[in-house]
Amino acid sequence: MSLRITLITAGRILRQLLNDRRTVVMILAVPALIISLISAIMDAAPAVFDQVGLILLAAFPFMLMFMITSITLLRERTGGTLERLMTTPTAKMDLVGGYALAFGVCASLQTAIAATVAYLWLDLDTVGSAWTVGLIAIVTSLFGMALGLFVSAFASTEFQAIQFMPVLIVPQLFLCGLIWPREQMAGWLQGVSDALPLTYAVKALQEVQVSSDLTAAMWGDLGIVAGAVVVATVLGAATLRRRTG
Amino acid sequence: MPPTDAKPSAPPPAITVDRLVVDRGGRSVLRDLSTTVPAGSVTGLLGPSGSGKTTLIRSIVGTQKVKSGRVTVLGDPAGSKPLRNRVAYVTQDASIYPDLSVRSNVAYFAALYGRRRADAMAAIERVGMGEFAGRLAANLSGGQKTRTSLACALVCEPEVLVLDEPTVGLDPVIRDELWSQFRALASAGKTLVVSSHVMDEADRCDRLLLLREGLFIADDTPGDLRAATGTENLEAAFLHLIRELEETR
Ligand SMILES: Nc1ncnc2c1ncn2[C@@H]1O[C@H](COP(=O)(O)OP(=O)(O)O)[C@@H](O)[C@H]1O
Ligand SMILES: [Mg+2]
């Protein structure tokens, strides 16, 4: 692995994104707009918005990063550039690192904008700091990126890649506590929810919501999400093969 | 196939293919291929569509899973780390980023190979894409994409350059210019393997490998091939060889 090649790769991916205005707008503005919309919908119940808006700060970038990564990597695989890169000095982890870095930058900008809008204009209220919320959101969106990297190996068209959304992403969104409190779900659903990494991102956010301290529980939950990022990245990297049949 | 015995004075071959067997999709695609490619030459890999040209090329650059046999390039196993900035590969379909400009594409590969931006511009000029440097690759014609893809390989200044059907669909003038460049690279000591499914480029090569259904049916110079088959053009020589093989079956 080489830091130089990782940086070159990240630069190339960012340049690709910059040449696609619509994607730039989607990455930077859409999460903030969606949160504003939710805030308007929940205008009569600010306490509910404090719950839902907060979760969306992490959940929406998670979904978006999954989409963008699975499609850009799929293009890399099907367009022949992946095979070509494998004949250059690029190591697999340089490529994965390049993607993580490039999309990490995107996720940070996206989160910064969405959080600024939510805290300053939409009166989102948390006891803990917005910085911690931002950190959780970025780690969560890296999990989306890593999942996207992994599934791109199992799709041969962009349409197939998008089909993984309802399979891998939507259940996590529904069971993480975004649309219904976890404690009020049937026992077996709570069990499923416990097995899904996004749940721990939400738990970490809920810790920040009620506590101004960086609690051990918050770090523990965030650690689980970070662990899921590592596992998904390793699985994803394993699908990048230098030699194929 | 005549074994190419290395004479004591001859330099070591740039590429050695030794009893290569490759299966794809459950079928045997390359069946026991052996040959050597001398350094500083242009070798034409000719054969009809589906004969296994791309598969052999992928084996030489080390992206193809092989069943048995060995491919050695510049003394190292094909695809191994020390070869990754000495061997460059131009894929059959232009492998470039459609959402990057010509300049950004070539500059990216230049950077990966540890070359400078100025080298990227020089490579773009060499393939005659200077006036399109700022254009997005998605908006190029097929031939322009191929030339951009070629520039991404040339920028590496590779010792071995492997090109899979690089001249398909190109303007005859540009095709001629590219072949002159291939010749110039070979004169400078580089080794080129160029595949094609048309015979009209065969005379530009120092040596020809004729591939059919995963087997070499000839491994010779264009002149010797004509002489051996008693034919004037190489298309006829190819046919002659196929007929001869089918009779002996
Ligand atoms: N990805 C693949 N999976 C299975 N079979 C393949 C694949 N790619 C090529 N083949 C088969 O391998 C044979 C040789 O293909 P190829 O090397 O691409 O030939 P050429 O480049 O000479 O046209 C063909 O019969 C083709 O159908
Ligand atoms: Mg081919």
Q: Is B29 in the pocket of ligand 1 (CB under 6 A)?
A: yes
Q: Is the pLDDT of residue B194 over 60?
A: yes
Quick: pLDDT tens for A116-135. 999 999 989 899 999 999 99
Quick: pLDDT tens for B49-65. 999 999 999 999 999 99
Which among A23, A82, A88 is the top mutation candidate for probing chain B, defined by the most B β-carbons within 10 Å of its own β-carbon?
A88
pTM for this predicted structure: 0.91
Quick: pLDDT tens for B89-129. 999 999 999 999 999 999 999 999 999 999 999 999 999 99
Dihedral, CA atoms, B125, B128, B132, B136, nearest 10 degrees? -90
Do the chains contact at A84 and B95, CB–CB below 8 Å?
A: yes
Chain B contact set for A84 (CB, 8 A): 89, 91, 95, 152
- Per-residue confidence band for B175, with pLDDT thresholds at 50, 70 and 90: confident
DSSP alpha helix (H) spans, A152-243: 158-162, 164, 170-175, 187-194, 197-210, 216-238
ipTM for the complex?
Answer: 0.90
Query: Residue B78 and residue B63: Cα distance in Å, rounded?
Result: 9
> Rounded to 5 degrees, what are φ and ψ at A118?
-65, -45
- Mention every residue, 6+ apart, whose C-beta is less than 8 A from residue B218: B1, B208, B209, B210, B225, B237, B238, B241
The Cβ-side half-sphere exposure at B25, using a 13 Å CA radius, reads 3
Of B61, B84, B94, the CB nearest to A89: B84
By residue range, what is the domain housing residue A48? Answer: 3-241
Which among B84, B93, B112, B165 is the top mutation candidate for probing chain A, defined by the most A β-carbons within 10 Å of its own β-carbon?
B112
- Per-residue confidence band for B230, with pLDDT thresholds at 50, 70 and 90: confident
The confidence score (pLDDT) of residue B235 equals 81
Of A16, A19, A83, the CB nearest to B63: A83
- Per-residue confidence band for B227, with pLDDT thresholds at 50, 70 and 90: confident
Query: Residue B16 and residue A124: Cα distance in Å, rounded?
Result: 67
- Region A62-88: what's the mean pLDDT? 93
Chain B contact set for A94 (CB, 8 A): none
- Per-residue confidence band for B1, with pLDDT thresholds at 50, 70 and 90: very low
- Report CA(B52)–ligand 1 centroid distance (Å): 6
B92 contacts B85 by C-beta, under 8 angstroms = no
A193 contacts A34 by C-beta, under 8 angstroms = no
Number of domains in chain A: 1
> Could you tell me the two tokens for A233?
């990245």
B66 contacts B22 by C-beta, under 8 angstroms = yes
The confidence score (pLDDT) of residue B221 equals 92
Query: Residue A141 and residue A106: Cα distance in Å, rounded?
Result: 10
